[in-house]
Chains A and B, each alone.
Chain A
Amino acid sequence: MSVTPQVHEIGDGVRLLHVHTENTKTTCISLILLTPLCENTAENTVLASFLAHSSEKYPTLLEVNEQLEELYGAAFSSDVSKLGEGYRLRLSVTCINDRLTLGGEKISTEALRLLLDLLFAPLCRNGAFDAHQLQTEIRLCAEDIESELNDKRAYALSQMVEYMCKEEPYGLPKSELLEGVKAVTPESLYTAWQTLLRTAAISVQVVGDADFAPLEEMLRARFGAIERTPRPVETVFVEAAEDVSEFTEDMELNQSKLVLGFRCGMQNADDNFFAQRVMADVFGGGPYSRLFMHVREKLSLCYYCSARLDRRKGILVVQSGIEAKNKQAALDEILKQLSVMQNGEFTDEELAASKAALCDAYRGVNDTPESVDAYYAQFVDTPPQTPEAMVAGIEAVDRAAVTAAAKRMTLDTVYFLKGGEEHA
């Protein structure tokens, strides 16, 4: 299905992106706000939770959830995540297509009304958020941050990033965030909420087979009413690592985690992007990749070993789970495979396989409102590129471009979460 998004400007720095998907079962609506990562980070983290759990009209979680269930179990989610050195707050609701309700109700407008109420009319009074509710939200956020330790793969990845980017906002330390979250006050949360509405880059996404006009009208009324002075998000791109830093952390574990951070030599998110994307995939994408075929299949060192490009930060991360005693062997093999990439010694079949797999994934994006919504969420403050444009960009990448992209990689950080041998 070829679907071109309609883009409307509905406020100062507020973009409305509408994608009509014929005959799908759901409608997805997202409100996405992007602010600099280092500004009100703790408050914005708490906001994602606070806004999702209460509003002036529905003051308790129970009432918010009752409202969602009335809307045929509309699925609501809210989260914050890094997008380069921006912090992206996203409130989303997915409800069934109006035509499929048992009584012919128009639930898409009701779902949007709820979403807008949560963002614009939170539980606050006289310049301060509700103190009682805030206590619960602070605890939930703090526990959520601490529980990252339960997922060793995620924990190891964020530890590596913390070390690698300690001089950059991107390396935001967990301990600092945790401390900040615990110190949020009803007043500071209110101020941060105001700042967010006034200065964030905002993208609203409506995807599905719903009557768009009433939704657009509601959105224009709400977003048009705020006075805004949007500020751009800027990200530091470190082009090359000066030397390699190594960190080892001991933990009682059955499996050790090896995480490598590379600088990609990118100056911005668009710099050489398609070549970088293909290079990362041939190197450590699918089961046809160098890392899978060699570190896993040939040497049997691991169950997973993969590479991922973060376009918005210009870094590439390799992750693997191994036995502690195999650390050097795994590290050597990963670097050996990188040099294969740099010397252009990968095969034409590997390159073709990677391009085919990447394009295949982009071609499927338009199939469901959920995947369309997730896909466009990466372009909050940049012109949205369609999946078709991605396919064209990938297809144009050749062997020379991939080799050149690989040559720009420099290893910055090696992080090792070391499990005890006796537990293996």
Chain B
Amino acid sequence: MREIKNERLGERYYEIDHKSGLKILVYPKENYASAYAMFGTRYGSIDTDFRLQGEKSFTSVPEGIAHFLEHKLFESEELDAFERYAKTGASANAYTSFDRTCYLFSCTDNFKASLEILLDFVTHPYFTEATVQKEQGIIGQEIQMCRDEAGWESLFALLRAMYHMHPVRIDIAGTVESIADITADLLYTCYNTFYNLSNMVLCVAGNVNPDEVLEVADRVLQKAEPVEIERKFHEEPREVKEAYVEERLAVAAPIFSLGFKEAVETPERTLKELIISNVILEAVCGKTTPFYTELLESGLCNTSFDCEYFAGYGYAAWIFTGETPDARAVEEKLVGRIRELQKTGIAEKDFLRIRKKLYGRTVMQFNDIDTIANGMVAAHFRGESIFDDAEILENLTVDEVNARLRTAIDTDCRSLAVIRGKE
């Protein structure tokens, strides 16, 4: 067991290599009534083609299967997980993203009993054709619900426009058609690949200590032989697929998503690159830029305007979203703004203010055990620690930021997606 400390924040957590092969991170918080546990696997919607070390060919599975598996794992031959949690009072949930699936609960009481449920149901799959079929109706409605959400649709329209091959372009839940091809056997194939303990992590934060966690882990977890998973690295062309796409939905005003596709030579961005990217976005159109105020006052955008550095295994993009009466005009303004900043560079005083803000925001996250547990899972899958952010920020220089600003954003390599109202 290793203790990892951050003196300035006065925070610490413990890292344990459990004998079962699972990495366990425990972050005790004094004075907290709640505990929050998250059991995550590095497996998400983009993992549609994979093989284990030693296998000859890649296995291809239907779109949306990671999310489908997440739903089905809650079931067992006897009581399903929700029925078991109902006895402990814990509030439980799960989610699937592009590159991970996480099962979680929070509670103020009966922590060990709830942790036992979590570790037990995630390590004991039970899939049958009948239960798979039942879920198709529920997930079908989840998919339809998302297809009416303009912000969500706009993002996926953009991803489909930017990417030719990479599975980030497919909806996390798949489509009504793709999930119809899911079978119990396919679920077991995915489960046996990605739910190996060596591909997973357990993060617990709040009113807990490492001994309690270990006691339950020792009892429930069986040792697993580690596996080596190979994800297909999709040959993604440098150019975007389409520069402009448009869809129609019942919306009040047009909604746009503008994305600049970054060239990626390695599958993943480092934490430092992610942090620098956030500094750059603040400098481009943060709330303290005259550019943002002008967007708002000119009537081109409103307070729904937002931006995001969007990156994962094999993809990275700079994405800007919002409501606008004229998406082309916003596009032109943003392209102009980025090019100008690439020429002049970010000023030292602006950099210092942004860095201070991001430092403050990083500190604020350490109140919230839900954010801490999520942050630990994300950091672990990147091979980093949740305390690294504050340190990287403190030592960051404006030259490093300007260097990335000039090389990572190619303003010619972009797509614009617009959702317009129904005619």
In the complex with contacts A23-B31, A70-B353, A72-B356, A150-B293 CB distance below 8 A:
no
In the complex with contacts A96-B363, A370-B368, A151-B149 CB distance below 8 A:
yes
Whether the Cβ atoms of A364 and B34 lie closer than 8 Å is yes
Which segment of B43-51, B56-64, B136-144, B266-274 sits at the interface?
B136-144
Is B253 close to A, CB under 8 A? yes
Which segment of A158-166, A332-340, A354-362, A403-411 sits at the interface?
A354-362
Is B303 close to A, CB under 8 A? yes
In the complex with contacts A62-B290, A65-B287, A72-B360, A254-B151 CB distance below 8 A:
no
In the complex with contacts A102-B359, A254-B148, A367-B369 CB distance below 8 A:
yes
Chain B residue at minimal CB-CB distance from A253: B148
Q: Which residues of A contact B135 (CB under 8 A)?
A: 300
Q: Which residues of A contact B125 (CB under 8 A)?
A: none
Determine the distance from Cα of A73 to Cα of B356 in the docked complex, in whole angstroms. Answer: 7
Which segment of B87-95, B183-191, B209-217, B335-343 sits at the interface?
B87-95
Q: Which residues of A contact B150 (CB under 8 A)?
A: 150
Chain A residue at minimal CB-CB distance from B368: A368
Chain A residue at minimal CB-CB distance from B31: A1
Whether the Cβ atoms of B363 and A70 lie closer than 8 Å is no
Chain A residue at minimal CB-CB distance from B75: A297
Q: Which residues of A contact B34 (CB under 8 A)?
A: 363-364, 367
Is B397 close to A, CB under 8 A? no
Chain A residue at minimal CB-CB distance from B136: A300
In the complex with contacts A96-B360, A364-B106, A353-B353 CB distance below 8 A:
no
Determine the distance from Cα of A260 to Cα of B300 in the docked complex, in whole angstroms. Answer: 38
Whether the Cβ atoms of B367 and A287 lie closer than 8 Å is no
Whether the Cβ atoms of A363 and B108 lie closer than 8 Å is yes
Is A36 close to B, CB under 8 A? no
> Which of A100, A143, A252, A302 has a CB less than 8 Å from the CB of B422?
A252
Is A247 close to B, CB under 8 A? no
Is B358 close to A, CB under 8 A? yes
> Which of A102, A287, A322 has a CB less than 8 Å from the CB of B141?
A322
Is A168 close to B, CB under 8 A? no
Q: In the complex, how many angstroms separate the beta carbon of A355 from the nearest chain B beta carbon?
A: 8
How many residues in B have their beta carbons less than 8 Å from beta carbons of A? 73
Is A234 close to B, CB under 8 A? no
Chain B residue at minimal CB-CB distance from A365: B33
Is A284 close to B, CB under 8 A? no
Q: Which residues of A contact B2 (CB under 8 A)?
A: none
Q: Which residues of B contact A68 (CB under 8 A)?
A: 287, 357
User: What band does the interface of chain A fall in when counting residues whose beta carbon is under 8 Å from B?
Assistant: 35 or more
Determine the distance from Cα of A152 to Cα of B31 in the docked complex, in whole angstroms. Answer: 40
Whether the Cβ atoms of A349 and B251 lie closer than 8 Å is no
Determine the distance from Cα of A370 to Cα of B364 in the docked complex, in whole angstroms. Answer: 10
Is A246 close to B, CB under 8 A? no
Chain A residue at minimal CB-CB distance from B36: A364
Whether the Cβ atoms of A361 and B91 lie closer than 8 Å is yes
Whether the Cβ atoms of A254 and B144 lie closer than 8 Å is yes
Whether the Cβ atoms of B31 and A61 lie closer than 8 Å is no
Q: Which residues of B contact A96 (CB under 8 A)?
A: 360, 363-364
Q: In the complex, how many angstroms separate the beta carbon of B286 from the nearest chain A beta carbon?
A: 8
Whether the Cβ atoms of B357 and A424 lie closer than 8 Å is no
Whether the Cβ atoms of B359 and A150 lie closer than 8 Å is no
Whether the Cβ atoms of B363 and A321 lie closer than 8 Å is no
Determine the distance from Cα of A139 to Cα of B144 in the docked complex, in whole angstroms. Answer: 32
Chain B residue at minimal CB-CB distance from A350: B86
Whether the Cβ atoms of B142 and A303 lie closer than 8 Å is yes
Chain B residue at minimal CB-CB distance from A140: B302
Q: Which residues of A contact B108 (CB under 8 A)?
A: 360, 363-364
**Central interface residue in A62, A94, A136, by most chain B CB within 10 Å:** A62
Q: In the complex, how many angstroms separate the beta carbon of B133 from the nearest chain A beta carbon?
A: 9
Is A315 close to B, CB under 8 A? no
Is A276 close to B, CB under 8 A? no
Is B361 close to A, CB under 8 A? yes
Whether the Cβ atoms of A323 and B141 lie closer than 8 Å is yes
Is A375 close to B, CB under 8 A? no
> Which of B141, B251, B367, B369 has a CB less than 8 Å from the CB of A150?
B251
Whether the Cβ atoms of A360 and B109 lie closer than 8 Å is yes
Chain A residue at minimal CB-CB distance from B251: A150
B25-42: which have CB < 8 Å to A? 29-34
Whether the Cβ atoms of B90 and A360 lie closer than 8 Å is yes
Is B82 close to A, CB under 8 A? yes
Whether the Cβ atoms of B367 and A288 lie closer than 8 Å is no
Is B281 close to A, CB under 8 A? no
Determine the distance from Cα of A353 to Cα of B84 in the docked complex, in whole angstroms. Answer: 10
Q: Mark A57-78, 1 if CB is under 8 A from B, else 0.
A: 0001110011011111111000
Whether the Cβ atoms of A136 and B252 lie closer than 8 Å is no
> Which of B88, B106, B253, B287 has a CB less than 8 Å from the CB of A146?
B253
Is B147 close to A, CB under 8 A? yes
Q: In the complex, how many angstroms separate the beta carbon of A318 from the nearest chain B beta carbon?
A: 16
Q: Which residues of B contact A24 (CB under 8 A)?
A: 367
> Which of B136, B149, B364 has a CB less than 8 Å from the CB of A75?
B364
Determine the distance from Cα of A22 to Cα of B251 in the docked complex, in whole angstroms. Answer: 46
Determine the distance from Cα of A357 to Cα of B151 in the docked complex, in whole angstroms. Answer: 32
Whether the Cβ atoms of A353 and B145 lie closer than 8 Å is no
> Which of B89, B323, B356 has a CB less than 8 Å from the CB of A357?
B89
Q: Which residues of A contact B1 (CB under 8 A)?
A: none
Whether the Cβ atoms of B360 and A74 lie closer than 8 Å is yes
Q: Which residues of B contact A100 (CB under 8 A)?
A: 8-9, 363
Q: In the complex, how many angstroms separate the beta carbon of A285 from the nearest chain B beta carbon?
A: 10
Whether the Cβ atoms of A357 and B367 lie closer than 8 Å is no
A114-151: which have CB < 8 Å to B? 136, 139-140, 143-144, 146-151
**Central interface residue in A147, A253, A303, A363, by most chain B CB within 10 Å:** A303
Determine the distance from Cα of A1 to Cα of B91 in the docked complex, in whole angstroms. Answer: 19
Whether the Cβ atoms of B145 and A149 lie closer than 8 Å is no
Determine the distance from Cα of A359 to Cα of B89 in the docked complex, in whole angstroms. Answer: 8
A354-396: which have CB < 8 Å to B? 356-357, 359-361, 363-364, 366-370
> Which of B141, B303, B360, B367 has a CB less than 8 Å from the CB of A370?
B367
Chain B residue at minimal CB-CB distance from A320: B141
Q: Mark B68-104, 1 if CB is under 8 A from A, else 0.
A: 0000000000000011011111111000000000000
Q: Which residues of B contact A148 (CB under 8 A)?
A: 252
> Which of A74, A136, A367 has a CB less than 8 Å from the CB of B297?
A136
Determine the distance from Cα of A252 to Cα of B248 in the docked complex, in whole angstroms. Answer: 10
Q: A143-B302, A255-B144 are in contact. List 7 more A-B contacts (CB 8 A).
A: A24-B367, A73-B357, A140-B303, A255-B148, A353-B87, A360-B107, A367-B206
Which 7 A-B pairs give the minimum distances between C-beta atoms? A72-B360, A356-B89, A73-B357, A300-B137, A353-B86, A73-B360, A364-B34
Listed A/B pairs (12) with beta-carbon separation below 8 Å: A24-B367, A26-B367, A62-B293, A96-B364, A140-B303, A150-B149, A303-B145, A357-B90, A357-B91, A360-B109, A363-B34, A363-B109
